Amino acid sequence: MRIATWNVNSIRQRLDNMLAWLKESTPDIVCLQEIKCVDAAFPRDAFESLGYNVVVHGQKAFNGVALLSKLPFDEVAPGLIGDDGDVQARFLEALVSTKTGVLRVVSLYLPNGNPPDTNKYTYKLKWMDRLIAFSHERLKLEEPMLLAGDYNVIPTVADARSPAAWTKDALFLPATREKFRALTNLGLTDAIRAVSDARVLSGPAELRKAVLQSILEWRFASAPGGSTRQVRIHFNWEQAPERPQRAPFTLFAADGVTIGHGLGIPPTADGIRNELVRAGLAAPEPAQLPVIEKRIDEAQKQALDQGRRIVFPAGTAGMKVTRISFSGVPEVEQQQLNGHLPVHLGDTLTPGQIEAIGHSIRPVNPSLIYMCILGGGDQAEIRILSVK
């Protein structure tokens, strides 16, 4: 039997890719996380047409898990036991019958927990306690069981390319890793480590083969007056450095002439939207997206003119903050932000800090976004923009 798990980060945005992958790989069961839609909005017809039974435990805009199975579902139970007041859709359990007996499968999306000095981390640890309690009870049934999904845990230093960059992150804190060990010590097996002791399986060589040498289309403002220029971006993930979110890329003009090089992933309006949602914040309204795109274009042109480049915030862990700037942000809001931003000049950015930036600017003004602009070496500027 072939069972797969995939954090799709919005099923509607990944539907075409997923259908193509299902036709090619033909897994028997698929566990999905971060579907980011309510049950009624899940595109079940597309999967049923491929012969899959579908069960969904969804939530509007956030979280959400689902199961696809070529075998009928005997039982289905949404939600993790232990807290009747928990409304976050992060857990879906199902039972199927195979030729050799029953199989219990769970699709789970464990809470991120950042920033760790907030109730988000408390919720993460309590959720892990509930998962341990659930597993303890189910193992008493002596049935085959699979807990598949996105654990948001870095169990050991071997699971991070740059462990020092994660020491203050909720995914790598000692309490998180202790809970994970308590879970596996019940008698569960870490499926990845059962077949490989390789360091950092999440790196480009192991899990990014699907995007090796990928070619993306991207437009950016290349001349005064906001005119645009179509370019190809060739990402070379095989040469990615320590942080796999960033990779060397080459910009080609339409005629194939090389027009520039860089390191990173240039952002788009959709990218900014996904960053906000990933940080647990409300996504921009559709009408805001063209404004966001324009602001990004303006910032990108300015950065390119200065010999710098913009990358997604997630790709800047380990960078040193040398500047914090504002664009289109009223002075009164700048003053508010100056006293509340979780980063300061001279800081070496951690993933937790990067995510916390979004949480700190949103209460001041929901129309604010942020991006990171790389200078020479490991220097980074945090730029906060208004998209009104």
pLDDT tens readout for residues 335-372 = 888 877 888 888 887 766 766 776 777 778 766 766 66
Q: How far is CA 278 from CA 43, 95, 140, 337, 357, in A?
A: 21, 30, 36, 21, 12
Place of tokens 């007056």: 225
Shortest CA distance to 66 belongs to which of 78, 58, 56?
Answer: 56
**Looking at domain 3-150, which of 3.60.10.10, 3.40.50.720, 3.40.50.970, 2.60.40.10 is its CATH number?**
3.60.10.10
Question: Picking from 74-83, 163-172, 312-321, 359-368, which range would have the lowest pLDDT averaged per residue?
Answer: 312-321
Q: Which two tokens stand for residue 19?
A: 């259908």
Could you tell me which residue, 314 or 83, shows the higher pLDDT? 83
Main-chain dihedrals φ then ψ at residue 323, nearest 5 degrees: -160, 145
Average pLDDT, integer, range 79-103: 94
Domain boundaries, the chain: 3-150, 204-265, 267-388
Could you tell me which residue, 221 or 102, shows the higher pLDDT? 102
pLDDT digits (tens, 9 = 90+) for 299-329: 555 555 554 544 444 445 677 888 888 877 8
CATH of domain 267-388: 3.10.20.310
Place of tokens 């090389």: 258
pLDDT at 306 (0 to 100):
52
pLDDT digits (tens, 9 = 90+) for 116-152: 999 999 999 999 999 999 999 999 998 899 999 999 9
Q: What's the pTM?
A: 0.57
Q: Residue 299 CA to chain centroid, in angstroms? A: 24
